Structure 1
Amino acid sequence: MADTTGRMIRIGNASGFYGDRFAAVREMLDGGELDYLTGDYLAELTMLILGRDRMKDPKSGYAKTFLRQMEDCLGLAIDKGVRIVANAGGLNPHGLAIALRELADSLGVDAAIAFVDGDDLTDRAADLGLGNPLTANAYLGGFGIKAALDAGADVVVTGRVTDASLTVGPAASEFGWGYEDLDALAGAVVAGHIIECGAQATGGNYSFFTELPRMGHLGFPIAEVGSDGSSVITKHPGTGGAVTVGTVTAQLLYEVGGPRYLGPDVTTRLDTITLTQEADDRVRVSGVCGEAPPATTKVSLNHLAGVRNEITLILTGLDIEAKAELFREQFTAALPTQPAEMDWDLSRLDRTDATTEEQASALLRCVVRDPDAKKVGRPFSAAAVELALASYPGFTMTAPPGNGAPYGVFEPGYVAAEVVDHRVALPSGVVERIAPSPLRGDPSVDAEEPSAQLPPDWGPTASLPLGTLAGARSGDKGGNANIGVWVRDPAHFAWLDHTLDVDLLKELLPEVAELTVRRYRLPNLNAVNFVIEGVLGRGVAENVRFDPQAKGMGEWLRSRPVPIPVAFTQQSQEDQ
């Protein structure tokens, strides 16, 4: 039965990706009171990297950084009574659990360690209609973590759970939630989504960063989760950055689609979230509603696709286009065999009558891919080098060409939830199987909503960058990108909602003009969210876009001029 006493637990996060600040674990443990400390180490690209590691050494496949962090901090966490939950197990949570037990013994630390697995479907992929991928991992929910904590685990490591499950599991354990507690689970999902990317909730990658204090060394976020699933997002006192409605809104819009946020335990209604600034560095998250989860479970699939290589040349001064064309013709003719794919990109960064050589230069990039490493390795490199004295004037390259490297492609898959063998190995060694939610079904489909047809009269306008009023956060989901755009003044939302539609977005971002773009409204966050399909090809490891994960796409959009009511900008200046 769910706890209704109004208790609260403090869940901190110390990692947003594999490679995040190493010292964050110690900083979070030393910085103040916590009940749980989570760490998110996995992303679509990370699973590919770990898959390649596992090909070389079957005993690898987990985030080794986490093990080194525990070498430094496991004893401290046990002494403070802070329980650790991390998805650092990657493709080998059992192997990481063994390594942690050996580490605890060597440190003389008495730590109960559990692990969650069953997400790895690689050996069954073909039978499940998923092809023959390098990795195939289902996104598990938080109830395996809950079972481990219920059994007394001090440390729980997992494979591919959803990022928010790292928060859902501890909250469900503390408050006795079951699958039927949909609103509470949804609230925890939102709290988990906010803190999962570490310092992005405390000012990192924030559009209005110039307004925040102490941006040199940001603190990591904490979610104070209540028994009803509501939460307060905060950070340790004295740490850098800030927790504001704006920083929390930005993170809520990161890598999402429509108002319904599908997960294995609950479908979370992002259009029901209410954010309130309670005090400095304290934002309350309330009102979140949950619906039944979908009948299917999402699977992260990575395939090895071949070898990729690239060269970048510097073109300086006059006749940039002609220089690029000369090299393209010479280089293509010089290759002994043509690779399966060859992409060229000329970035005109040069300026007329530049006062520095760098400002007078453009970049020509050639990327090749082929299943056969020989076609894009040494012959590719040699053909570029041999043209050094026989091509355009001023020939130079940004770096010596190399032999290339394997690359992979990502795609999502879906299987029936009941075919995933979600397991937890308890500290006692007993293995418990976790049944999927009995409430799962077919969720409602989010509809794209057009802008209002009859806008109010906002008075005269001036052509100014969209970012004068609006913030944005963008990111990648496989081959798609999302751009969430919000305004801080609720009085400006009607203008944003009416003005920034799909047609205007395509006009402002010509690179996406021919692609399918979907628009969703989130009035409760004063936001609209765009999903741009296929802009990232087959994922970050494969695509050759200048910004392969679309991290800067939102800031590009903010820099583009739009007609903004003069009254809005005058009011903003007065408020500042």
Structure 2
Amino acid sequence: MLQKAPIRIGNVSGATGDHPHAMLRMVRSGNVDVITGDWLSEMNIAWNAITKQEVDPNLGYENGFFEQLEECLDGIMERNIRVVTNAGALNTEMLYRKVQKLCQDRGYGDSVVAAVLGDDVSDIVMAEGGKALPISHLDHPDQSLSDWGFSPCCATAYIGCWGIVEALRAGAQIVICGRCTDASPVMGAAAWYHSWREDQYEELAGSLLAAHLIECGPYVVGANFSGFKSFLQDLVDLAFPIAEIDGTGRCKISRTEEGGGHVTKNTVIAQLLYELQGHLYLNPDVVADLSGVSVETVAENCISVSGVRGLPPPSTTKVMIAAKGGFQAEATFYINGLDVQEKADMMRRQLENAYKNSNFSRLSIELYGTPASNPQSQQEGTVFLRVFAQARRIEDISIHKFKIPIYALRMQSYPGYHMNLDFRTMEPKPFMEMFPALMPITAINHRVEMSNGTTCKIKPPSHTQTYPVIRPSSDALHPADLLSFGPTKFTALGTIVHGRSGDKGDNSNVGFFVRNEDEYEWLRSLLSVATFKKLLGNDWFKGNTDRRVERVEFPGILAVHFNNSRVLDNLNGGIASSDRVDGLGKGVAEYLRSKYVDIPLLFLERGSI
């Protein structure tokens, strides 16, 4: 019997606001069966919550998807391409109706549009403050929603792929989802195309990994990649990725013909390590065991990934609960010349005195950067001091409580005082607090509505398995003596070690990998949990007893990963409310790669990354 050709799935969005013509390019040069896009993150889920509640109840979806669809709908229909998106965000039904009307207006009234619903679990969570269904924190099970101190305004559950599968099986051309998992659109497309059952865990796990690799768009094509210098001139207007998934779930990653960048073994490994959960990648439909994963070059811009194993899904799924956290404002001061630390200390004391009677819930005053020695321009010798404040009530951070006290300091400040003149940042704006939790999948009303009148209720998984909240973590088993690698030089870790970091709510994760097999024994022996904490330096908050590091190894890709996806509580609340400049943890790996360690001369002689 002839084996069915692999399905080709092209991703056209890694986040809200991604390339505005990526879908058109994918239609034009991707030669794909299905187009997917990830428009959601914890950040714009919060934005959409504010928009829907305070601006217009008919909004709350990602209109960027709709604008791209308008541009290339004719090409999609001519080529019979399916489209699956999570751009419904917090108002899936409104976007669903808007897409229906677009199809009708363009003469495609017979084409079926579907809405996958059930992710909005606000009614469950908000019933008596969550007492209808006891809900505890995802990372800290001893903390319950009732102890949170905020009043939830919305809650979205991460639903799986089977609503998408059923919609496609029923003839849908365009499928609109809300907060499905990032991987669900790709998994749903592959399961539909290959007619997989829900218990084909190996195949589903393979498609989960394929989805993980392409969901961030250009990241796997050379963006956010520590080896970017190897093709720096090509990193302009990057291409978007394509996953070819065969009937066994194995995949090959490539890219559109249009655009810059490259898909290489190392760009794929970097993306594989991004925002992981350790060896076990949990999903509502399957758990992918990545401990044996391997990556190989097939051809230029074509990389194969294999070795993933599939396990039954958990009985729970993640739910993100949002609440109005209050209001925030900030200001930036620039410092240059001599005595930078003393100038910053002077400004800090003045600010603390100005705000000594404030009712802020958070006040952060932080110095960023180090000036160049003997700078050749004022720019080279300038750093900045950022003051950031939050308050539960707008009156506690009003112009008179935050902005005017800063104005009052202008004429009594350090020598050379100057500040950012965009004074709008000093006016209060709302922010959201997020509470990640787990919810039984059986509590979710997962269903499909279609423009042809078809409706379908999606059953929860028939077989599940329990997985520990605190995942396995250990230092290297039988580490090598670091002296056995010969003479060393004290230099930056990133000279020969790649890294990638990201966020999961309030937590950051970091993965490291090397280019050559004989360097891996050194890497895994060097990077213990203790060494990792030491490398974090002042960013390791020893006073927070809730913080922990989880460590795993991936020998098939020569990688060490911290901390089983999480440096817990590293981002001060997550992107929706963090006071950190890098609230998404994107720069953590690059910071750690810049830290000095003893590197064997044997490895340094091979050249730097």
With normalisation by structure 1, the TM-score equals 0.95
- Report the CA distance shift for 1:293/1:28 in structure 2 as closer, same or farther (over 3 A): same
2:13 equivalent among 12, 15, 23: 15
**Alpha-carbon distance in structure 1 between the residues aligned to 2:246 and 2:2:** 9
- Which of 231, 239, 242 is matched with 2:251 structurally? 231
In the alignment, structure 1 residue 145 sits paired with structure 2 residue 164: yes
Question: How far does residue 362 in structure 1 lie from its aligned partner after superposition?
Answer: 3.1
- Could you give the per-residue CA deviations for residues 93-115 of structure 1, whole angstroms, max 9, x where no partner exists? 11101001111122223431001
The alpha-carbon deviation at position 121 of structure 1 amounts to 0.7
Structure 2 counterpart of 1:370, from 369, 381, 391: 391
Q: Secondary structure at the match of 2:439?
A: strand
2:30–2:242 Cα contact (<8 Å) kept: no
String of CA shifts for 1:205-261, please: whole Å, max 9, x gaps: 111111136211211010111011111111123542111111111111111121000
**Secondary structure, counterpart of 2:501 in structure 1:** strand
Question: Are the structure 2 counterparts of residues 231 and 337 from structure 1 closer, same or farther at C-alpha, using a change threshold of 3 Å?
Answer: closer
Match of 2:487 among 460, 475, 491: 460
Deviations 1:128-160 (A, max 9, x none): 335442221111111000000000100001011
Once the two structures are superposed, what CA deviation does each residue of 1:187-212 show, in whole Å capped at 9, x if it has no partner?
00000000100011111111111113
Query: What does 1:127-142 align with in structure 2 at a 5 Å threshold?
Result: 127-130=132-135, 131=145, 132-142=151-161
Matched, 1:533 2:568: yes
The aligned residue for residue 163 of structure 1 is: 182
Q: Which of the residues 472, 475, 482 maps onto 1:447?
A: 472
Indicate the residue corresponding to 1:429 in structure 2: 453
The CA distance in 2 between the partners of 1:273 and 1:327, in whole Å, is 51
Residue ranges of structure 2 left out of the alignment (5+ in a row): 136-144, 146-150
Q: Relative to structure 1, is the Cα distance of residues 285 and 334 closer, same or farther in structure 2, using a 3 angstrom cutoff? A: closer
Q: 2:599 is matched with which residue?
A: 564
C-alpha distance in 2 between matches for 1:63 and 1:168: 21
**TM-aligned CA distance change 1:382 to 1:572, over 3 Å:** closer
Shift of 1:27: 0.6
Looking at structure 2, the residues matched to 82 and 112 of structure 1 have their Cα atoms a distance apart, in angstroms, of 12
In the other structure, the counterpart of 1:287 is 307
Offset at residue 376 of structure 1 (A): 1.3
What residue in structure 2 maps to residue 5 of structure 1?
3
Q: Retained in 2: the 8 A contact 1:179–1:439?
A: no
Change (3 A) 1:161 1:354: same
Q: Does 1:550 align with 2:608?
A: no
Shift in alpha-carbon separation, 1:318–1:463, aligned structure 2, 3 A: closer
Farther off after superposition, 402-411 or 441-450 = 441-450
CA-atom RMSD, angstroms? 1.9
- 2:533 pairs with 484, 500, 506, which one? 506
| Sequence identity percentage | 34
- Partner SS for 1:539: coil
Question: Is 347-356 or 157-166 further displaced after alignment?
Answer: 347-356
The structure-2 alpha-carbon separation of the partners of 1:454 and 1:161, relative to structure 1 and needing over 3 Å to count, comes to: closer
Question: In the alignment, what sits opposite 2:237?
Answer: 217
Aligned to 1:123: 123
Runs (4+) of structure 1 exceeding 4 A deviation are: none
Deviation at 1:4, TM superposition (A): 8.8
Q: 1:528 to 1:389 in 2, by over 3 A?
A: same
Change in Cα spacing, 1:530 to 1:66, as seen in structure 2 (3 Å) is: same
Tell me if the contact between 1:346 and 1:363 (Cα under 8 Å) persists in the aligned partners.
Answer: yes
The letter of the residue matching 1:327 is M
In structure 2, what is the equivalent of residue 488 of structure 1? 515
Deviation at 1:513, TM superposition (A): 5.5
Match of 2:138 in 1: none
Q: Show structure 1 runs of 5+ residues with no match.
A: none
Native 8 Å contact 1:87 1:159 kept in 2: yes
Decide whether the 8 Å contact of 2:552 with 2:561 is kept in 1.
yes
* Local SS of the residue matching 1:358: coil
CA distance in 1, matches of 2:271, 2:605: 28
Q: How many Å separate the matches in 2 of 1:100 and 1:137?
A: 22
Q: Is 1:476 paired with 2:503?
A: yes
Aligned to 1:68: 67
The separation in 1 between residues aligned to 2:413 and 2:101, in whole angstroms, is 59
1:275 correspondence with 2:273:
no
Inter-partner Cα distance in structure 1 for 2:268 and 2:375: 42
Give the conservation status (yes or no) of the 8 Å contact 2:10–2:30. Answer: no
Separation of aligned partners in 1, 2:102 and 2:234: 36
**Equivalent of 1:517, from 537, 549, 552?**
549
The amino acid across from 1:519 in the alignment is R
Give, in angstroms, the shift of residue 553 of structure 1.
Answer: 0.9
Deviation at 1:354, TM superposition (A): 3.1
The corresponding residue for 2:140 is none
Alignment of 1:294-333 (within 5 A): 294-333=314-353
Higher mean alpha-carbon deviation, 17-26 vs 272-281, is at 272-281
Q: Return the alpha-carbon distance in structure 1 between the equivalents of residues 201 and 339 of structure 2.
A: 63
TM-score, scaled relative to structure 2: 0.90
Equivalent-residue separation in structure 2 for 1:404 and 1:92 (angstroms) = 26
Paired AA for residue 314 in structure 1: Y
Q: Is the 8 A contact 1:224 1:231 kept in 2?
A: yes
Contact 1:191 1:225 in 2 (8 A): yes
Are 1:404 and 2:428 counterparts?
yes
CA–CA distance in 2 between the matches of 1:359 and 1:239?
33
Report deviation, 1:491: 2.1
